């Protein structure tokens, strides 16, 4: 069984209510239909009803495929969304007519369904930009009280039979925090390790990446990573983490032994923490497009409730996988 199939099966063992804000997109509809048929989630699509119905018909949906539709232009929930948004944002001196306008924004509508308990998580970003998708999540759902910041990661499913023996890795932050300082980088590493454990059930081994390995180069960018590593180890002494490490030293056992002898992470890392968004975004796309990895994300971490951002280059299978991830995240706040 592949890692992705195992992920879906775990989600299907306890499905959650997931609302997708871009029900007008064929990829979203196809991915949602697959998730429903696999028993992964109870899905709501937000979009004009006629458009969704036409796309469901094109995708071969039948009456037995239980997918809910909420059209902000006609939904019974729209007035509640508008009032909730006004109450939430009135300290910013917004007017009620502006709140009513925002309630018709599918990203806001979906996020407010999560905030108001009508859904357990939301997924968007196949059409909307990351900035718009994340803004709606931050404004409506908000940061978790115990989270230092909101960041993101990608689950990278390696091709079957990969010579490394790994099935999957976690890459962070590849989608949100542009240039984290040492404190933020340590927080991203801790959150990504926890996400790896939660979603994959595997003990995290965290590598904080750099162009230097254990002092092989001197530069302020290297210092940031070493300081982040020190903070991470101090704050989470039970976490298996090391840095600074070059990618080959973190990934390949022989190189890790040579460049970082004695490290319990070098050559064995399954959580890769990139020093900034340039490196992370480029790195995951190289792994995806040249290395043949399947990339699920960017998955957001640090929010009060799950809200995730698809890549605009996603396909229907990516949508289904992200729904499964969102279901697994939602379990933290669901009663057993």
Span 84-121, pLDDT tens digits:
999 999 999 999 999 999 999 999 999 999 999 999 99
Residue 150 is classified by DSSP as -
Within this chain, do residues 54 and 132 fall inside the same structural domain, yes or no? yes
Q: Check residue 333 and give its pLDDT.
A: 58
Q: How confident is the model at residue 39 (pLDDT cuts 50, 70, 90)?
A: very high
Domain at 165, CATH number = 3.40.50.10750
Within this chain, do residues 115 and 198 fall inside the same structural domain, yes or no? no
Q: Check residue 336 and give its pLDDT.
A: 40
For residue 298, being part of any structural domain is answered with no
Q: Check residue 313 and give its pLDDT.
A: 86
What domain range includes position 238? Answer: 151-289
The phi-psi region of residue 149 (left if phi > 0; otherwise alpha if psi is between -120 and 50; otherwise beta) is: beta
Domain at 59, CATH number = 3.40.50.10950
For residue 214, being part of any structural domain is answered with yes
Tell me how far apart the alpha carbons of residues 268 and 248 are, in angstroms, rounded to a whole number. Answer: 10
pLDDT at 3 over 90: no
Q: Which helix H or strand E contains 157, and what residues bound it?
A: strand 151-157
Nearest to 22 by CA among 82, 109, 98: 109
pLDDT, one tens digit per residue, over 160-217 is 889 998 999 999 999 999 999 999 999 999 999 999 999 998 999 999 999 999 999 9
Counting the structural domains of the chain, the total is: 2
Tell me how far apart the alpha carbons of residues 208 and 205 are, in angstroms, rounded to a whole number. Answer: 10
- 3 C-beta neighbours (distance < 10 Å), count: 21
pLDDT, one tens digit per residue, over 232-262 is 999 999 999 999 999 999 999 999 999 999 9
Model confidence, pTM: 0.90
pLDDT at 64 over 90: no
For residue 55, being part of any structural domain is answered with yes
For residue 295, being part of any structural domain is answered with no
Tell me how far apart the alpha carbons of residues 43 and 60 are, in angstroms, rounded to a whole number. Answer: 16
């Amino acid at each position: 069984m592949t890692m992705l199939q195992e992920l879906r099966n775990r989600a299907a063992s306890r499905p959650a209510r997931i609302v997708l804000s871009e029900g007008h997109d064929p990829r979203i509809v196809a991915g949602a239909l697959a998730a429903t048929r696999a028993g992964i989630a109870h899905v709501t699509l937000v979009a004009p009803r006629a458009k969704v119905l036409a796309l469901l018909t094109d995708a071969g949906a039948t009456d037995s495929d239980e997918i809910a539709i909420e059209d902000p232009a006609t939904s019974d929930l729209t007035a509640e969304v508008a009032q909730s948004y006004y109450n939430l944002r009135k300290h910013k001196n917004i007017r009620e007519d502006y709140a009513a306008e925002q309630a018709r924004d599918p990203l806001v509508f979906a996020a407010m369904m999560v905030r108001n308990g009508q859904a357990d998580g939301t997924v968007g970003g196949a059409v909307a930009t990351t900035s718009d998708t994340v803004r709606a999540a931050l404004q409506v759902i908000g940061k978790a009280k115990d989270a230092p910041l909101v960041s993101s990661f990608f689950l990278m499913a390696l091709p079957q039979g990969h010579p490394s023996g790994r099935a999957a890795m976690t890459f962070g932050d590849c989608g949100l925090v542009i240039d984290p300082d040492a404190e933020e980088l340590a927080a991203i590493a801790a959150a990504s390790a926890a996400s790896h454990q939660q979603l994959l059930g595997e003990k995290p081994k965290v590598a904080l990446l750099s162009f230097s390995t254990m002092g092989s180069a001197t530069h302020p960018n290297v210092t940031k990573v070493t300081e982040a590593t020190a903070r991470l180890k101090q704050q989470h002494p039970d976490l298996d983490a090391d840095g600074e490490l070059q990618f080959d030293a973190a990934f390949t056992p022989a190189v890790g032994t040579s460049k970082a002898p004695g490290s319990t992470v070098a050559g064995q890392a399954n959580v890769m923490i990139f020093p900034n968004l340039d490196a992370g975004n480029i790195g995951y796309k190289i792994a995806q497009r040249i290395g043949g990895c399947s990339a699920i994300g960017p998955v957001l971490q640090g929010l009060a409730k799950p809200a995730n951002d698809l890549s605009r280059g996603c396909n229907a299978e990516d949508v289904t996988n992200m729904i499964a991830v969102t279901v697994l995240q939602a379990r933290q706040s669901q009663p057993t």
